[in-house]
Amino acid sequence: MIVDNRPHQGLVLDASPLEMVKIFELDAVSSEENDGRALWVALDEVMDPQNLGAIIRSAYFFGATGVVLCAKNSAPLSGVVSKASAGSLELMELRYCKNMMQFLIASADNGWRVLGGSISSKSVPIHDISPGVPTILVLGSEGTGLRPLVERSCTQLVKIPGNIYADSLSVEGNGNQTGDGPEKSTSAEEFRSFLAVESLNVSVAAGVLLHHLIGKNNSSGGDDGDQFSDQ
């Protein structure tokens, strides 16, 4: 009854609610943060608790400094989020801001690189981005991605190239897919880009981007046996 019929493994812990600290901007980049390990994850209205927990888990695993959430329209911190995070919710630095756009702009003015995950035509492949720079990685909601004003607040937009280009060649061979006029056509390039990004959900995309930006910096070449879990 206490856990509302969710799996509990025979143990229930009654704990006080987690309290996040309000943040207006990240402090100016210091020499210590220039070692390539300083990275914050900013989530723009991520509503799904499973995705939020999975992102926090990946952020903690790869060594991100912290996670910033929107004060409104974000999944509340709950037992579902904690379980999806494998407990890292209790360990991760968590902050919230009332205005994500102002937070990103102010932090960029303080020397932070702000990378937004987007399917925009202005996005560049993540492998073209150099790691080792103090960065805020901004990810949008599951349905609509980054809000337009948030996207414009980023210093650069990035995307994850997929491996399904062969499947979209048939679209290119069939000519225009939305009409005969150029104003109604969709180029194969745009179509491929759309498919490549949309095949990943936000928590999976977070893991890929985090590995590129800071995961390689933390690699010591040792035993990797503890990196995979069925939990």
Cβ atoms within 10 Å of 168's Cβ, excluding its own:
18
Four-residue CA torsion sign, 34, 39, 40, 41: positive
Residue 200 confidence (pLDDT): 81
**What ranges make up the beta strands (E) of 145-225?**
156-159
In degrees, rounded to 5, the angle at the alpha carbon of residue 119 between the alpha carbons of residues 116 and 125 is: 70
Question: Encoding tokens for residue 130?
Answer: 């150099």
- Identify the pLDDT of residue 143: 80
Condensed to tens digits (0 to 9), the pLDDT of residues 68-119 reads: 999 999 999 988 899 899 999 999 999 999 999 999 999 999 999 999 999 8
Asked whether residue 138 carries a pLDDT value surpassing 60, the answer given is yes
- Mean pLDDT estimate for the chain: 82
Segment 157-171 mean pLDDT:
65
* 116-128: pLDDT as tens digits: 999 888 899 999 9
Instruction: Tell me the pTM.
Output: 0.78
Neighbours of 126 (CB within 10 A): 19
